[in-house]
Amino acid sequence: MSLYRCRRTGASQTGSPQTGICQTGICQTGICQTGICQTKTRRGEIGQIAMKLAGRGRIGTGRSSSDSIAGMTASSDRQVRHRALVTATMRGPGLDKLRRLADVVYEPWTEQQPLKVYDGAALAERLRAERADIAVVEADFVSGPVWELPLVAVAATRGDPNNVDVAGATRAGIPVLRTPARNADAVAELTLGLIIALARHVLPGDKDVRENEVFRDGTIPYQRFRGVELAGRRAAIIGFGAVGRALAWRLEALGMRVATYDPYVEEAGNDMEAVVREADVVSLHAAATTATVGFFGKEQFAWMRPGSVFLNTARAKLHDMDALVAALESGHLSGAGLDHFEGETLPEGHPLTSMPNVVLTPHIGGATQETEERGAQMVADDLEVLLSGGVPKNIVNPEVLAK
């Protein structure tokens, strides 16, 4: 039988205020409750250990040993059932598995009207009200008073859980889980869709059909919307992580020649200027960090081939918006496709909104059912490992498990 030291009190196997043995390894009240680790102890051993502890005079006051054992077992059964507040959008087998692991309060933030995003104080209050010891979030900010609660784990359905104060969680001894690459295929597919829409003038063609202007100004669509084929064209992928890789093989399947740049990935190229200068399509997929904010600016747009196309389905802060507008207005670039904007929207009357050679989508790269399914499965799998005493695959702060 494996036993744990209490992470909140630091009590060892023989030092807990009530029984000396922590129930789960993450103390729910500040003192050990039952003395039996349910994550590692077989149910058949409960009575044996309870009898030993009762014989030492450590269980029960004024009750028989059998009464104490029965009460202890019932208490253990109640406390081993965790409760999860889930505000992330989830679906599929992973959500079903999570419901088997814990009692789930499921209130996805995307289905609230109006949208509900908790800050640290509000989330802590809600967790306390629900008596939840697991939080699964996507957009909520997890910080401050949340770390005062006796949580088993916080899971964020994001590749980079930048909405979670990981340092605070680590100080509190609370594991933080993430879901890397859950949306990689979705973002790659949207990027491909934007490229095709630009190459074949899909949006202006759609507009003419809807407005009954197929023969606008006495011309035929074949004249106005003559496009280019992707096969044989060259693409530069800037940032060769999960999304960049997912896009690369899709473009290669269409016959494109793909070059990459990522100084942190060994198999990627290390000369951004060279790959950009040779590309017909340049697509950004770098992580947004202090080192990459605004890294693609006036100079980098000037490197691009005349008539080439620019894509950014990562984060708007990676490129200089004014420089992009200037490159489009001058005709140096033939088009652009964007899926993210600072503050999530463009200002009214922004130049990009009147350009027919620009495709704009409202940060929907990861908005697929499969993304939600993968996120749910990854969270449930890691929680199962954690609750069984193991080390989850996607834990951000594994050092807390050694405390």
Question: Sheet containing 102-106: which strands, arranged edge to edge?
Answer: 102-106, 82-86, 134-137, 153-156, 176-177
* Phi, psi angles (nearest 5°) of residue 36: -125, 120
Claim: this prediction has a pTM higher than 0.85: no
Domains 82-182+371-402 and 184-360 agree in fold: yes
Coil/strand/helix, residue 103: strand
Report whether 181 contacts 158 (CB < 8 A).
no
Active site residue 363: yes
Report whether 230 contacts 256 (CB < 8 A).
yes
Which residue ranges in the chain fall short of pLDDT 50?
1-77
Q: What is the pLDDT of residues 134-183, one digit of tens each?
A: 999 999 999 999 999 999 999 999 999 999 999 999 999 999 999 999 99
User: 184-360 adopts what CATH topology?
Assistant: Rossmann fold (3.40.50)
Per-domain residue ranges of the chain:
1-80, 82-182+371-402, 184-360
Of the listed 363, 370, 373, 384, which one is catalytic? 363
User: What pLDDT score was predicted for residue 314?
Assistant: 97
Of the listed 211, 266, 344, 348, which one is catalytic? 344
CA torsion angle for 294, 292, 306, 346 (degrees, to 10)? -50
Helices 242-253 & 184-199 angle (0-180, nearest 10): 40
Of the listed 7, 315, 319, 374, which one is catalytic? 315
User: What pLDDT score was predicted for residue 80?
Assistant: 67
The angle at the Cα of 166, spanning 164 to 167, to the nearest 5 degrees, equals 135
User: 82-182+371-402 adopts what CATH topology?
Assistant: Rossmann fold (3.40.50)
